Amino acid sequence: KNIEEVPFKAGLLVEMLKLMDEGTISIKIAKDIFPEVVLKGTSPREIIEKRGLLQITDEWEIRNVVEEVIKEETDAVEQYLKGKEKAMGYLMGQIMRKTKGKANPSLASKILKDELEKVKSASNN
């Protein structure tokens, strides 16, 4: 498309940035919807509602997924407990996979660290 043909409106970008700032969408979701916002002039809120892309910020829901991942990925948990920091990234990846990238990353990371500390404490006793 020629730049003259793009129906982009600056207000849509502002709307998308606000959704990110509020924690309604993640940076990954913003990247996914960006082309549609810019090239089609579609409202970011309309896209995320239509596609069910709202970020999961419910702590209880994320905690359940974290607990599932810890139970399923015992090798990675073991590696983490032995000091392999890369295992944390792998576990986060599994959480994001299970939530289709919709879990709030900072909240998921915090909960994962909390849960791993519980596992560490339990294994030291």
Residue type, 58: D
Which residue reads 């660290």 in tokens? 113
- The band of 97, judged by pLDDT with boundaries at 50, 70 and 90, is very high
- Cβ neighbors of 42 (< 8 A, separation 6 or more) are 12, 36
Phi/psi for 63 (5° steps) reads -60, -40
- The band of 6, judged by pLDDT with boundaries at 50, 70 and 90, is low
Distance between CA atoms of residues 122 and 125, nearest Å: 5
pLDDT value of position 56: 87
Distance between CA atoms of residues 22 and 51, nearest Å: 19
pTM of the full structure: 0.73
Q: Are 15 and 46 in contact (CB under 8 A)?
A: no
SS3 103: strand
- Cβ neighbors of 101 (< 8 A, separation 6 or more) are 26, 28, 29
Q: Is the pLDDT of residue 101 over 90?
A: no
Distance between CA atoms of residues 66 and 95, nearest Å: 6
pLDDT value of position 1: 56
Where is pLDDT greater, at 4 or 114?
114
